[in-house]
């Protein structure tokens, strides 16, 4: 920690990083900036909770849940949609009631929904993962306005970060089990993918690629589980920038704030030993830093 900084503020690579909520989540994930409310939502999968943070007022809210939510997004019709360990769910706006509307994998008891988000037509994309992170039993699904759930491809170990280029022609998708961020040709009109290819293969020494977001310039940002870092890649998958984090389990990232130039970072303390937590006591907290670019506004689910 740099001299003169508080115990919740760090300076890395010339950037000031603040822990705005030392939440001690087990598996903090899936930050979602809600433009309508100007707040950040995120989940603790293993802690069965959804969090809401208002950066303007500093208000913090925790909503305990019956299910393990891996991701959520706002609905155009009110409330939220999310992926859980029991399938696709609709969640009331006050987060007090949940309805499971589809379970496309009823016989895969070791699978659960992990990361997910909406494309710019409002389709909700979410992938499943083997909770043991061994078998390629996961799939990537798309939920349409009618709540019909379509499977687009399978043989995934751990579905993770996804996002779209500013021109909507490329979709990025992470399989953490393979250490790969894939790129696909994307048809925004039909909501279909083609031409799957490797965009980045991450060296295990740099951690495991986890959550992902894309900025307004088309650069891809990836959180590295176990790598204490966030990486920014250019359009060709070349490493452009690295931001070192003060905790090892960096799980996901999202742009937020009035000008979408703040990067919110979720983290975890899952499987960390006592000495590791002592060395990084803010593991599981929510962090934020200012960046020299802007993000892309999130889209609500069309259903």
| Contact residues for 160 (Cβ-Cβ < 8 A; gap 6+) | 114, 115, 127, 129, 173, 174, 175, 176, 209, 210, 211, 212
**Which pLDDT band holds residue 199 (cuts at 50, 70, 90)?**
very high
Which H or E run includes 228? none
Alpha helix segments (H runs only) across the chain: 274-279
Task: Identify the CATH homologous superfamily for domain 9-290.
Answer: TolB, C-terminal domain (2.120.10.30)
pLDDT one-digit tens code per residue, 247-293? 999 999 999 999 999 999 999 999 999 999 999 999 999 999 999 99
pLDDT above 80: residue 5: no
Place of tokens 């799957």: 196
77-86 tens-digit pLDDT: 999 999 999 9
Over residues 65-75, the mean pLDDT reads: 98
Average pLDDT of span 199-218: 98
What residue segments make up the domains of the chain, in order of their start?
Answer: 9-290
Mean pLDDT, residues 40-68 taken together: 98
Measured distance CA(50)–CA(70) in Å, rounded: 10
As a whole number, mean pLDDT of residues 183-210 equals: 98
Residue 188 has pLDDT above 90, yes or no: yes
- Hey, which residues are catalytic here? 210
Q: Given pLDDT bands bounded at 50, 70 and 90, which one contains residue 1?
A: very low
């Amino acid at each position: 920690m740099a001299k003169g900084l508080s115990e919740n503020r760090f300076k890395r690579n010339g950037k000031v990083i603040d822990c705005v909520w030392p939440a001690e989540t087990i598996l903090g994930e899936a930050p979602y900036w809600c433009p309508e409310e100007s707040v950040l939502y995120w989940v603790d999968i293993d802690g069965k909770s959804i969090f809401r943070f208002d950066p303007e007022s500093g208000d913090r809210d925790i909503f305990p849940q019956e299910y393990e939510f891996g991701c959520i997004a706002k609905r155009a019709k009110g409330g939220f949609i999310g992926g859980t360990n029991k399938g696709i769910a609709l969640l009331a706006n006050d987060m007090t009631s949940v309805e499971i509307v589809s379970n496309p994998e009823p016989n895969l008891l070791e699978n659960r929904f992990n990361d997910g988000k909406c494309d710019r037509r409002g389709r909700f994309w979410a992938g499943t993962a083997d909770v043991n992170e061994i078998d390629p039993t996961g799939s990537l699904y798309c939920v349409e306005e009618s709540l019909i759930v379509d499977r687009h491809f399978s043989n995934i170990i751990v579905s993770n970060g996804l996002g779209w280029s500013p021109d909507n022609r490329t979709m990025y998708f992470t399989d953490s089990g393979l250490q790969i961020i894939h790129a696909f040709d994307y048809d925004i009109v039909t909501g279909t993918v083609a031409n799957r290819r490797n965009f980045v293969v991450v060296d295990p020494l740099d951690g495991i690629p986890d959550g992902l977001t894309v900025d307004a310039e088309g650069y891809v940002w990836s959180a590295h589980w176990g790598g204490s870092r966030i990486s920014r890649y250019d359009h060709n998958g070349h490493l452009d920038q690295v931001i070192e984090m003060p905790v090892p389990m960096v799980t996901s990232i999202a742009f937020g704030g009035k000008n979408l130039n703040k990067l919110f970072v979720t983290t975890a303390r899952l499987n960390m030993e006592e000495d590791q937590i002592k060395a990084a006591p803010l593991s599981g907290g929510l962090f934020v830093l200012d960046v020299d670019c802007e993000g892309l506004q999130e889209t609500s689910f069309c259903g």
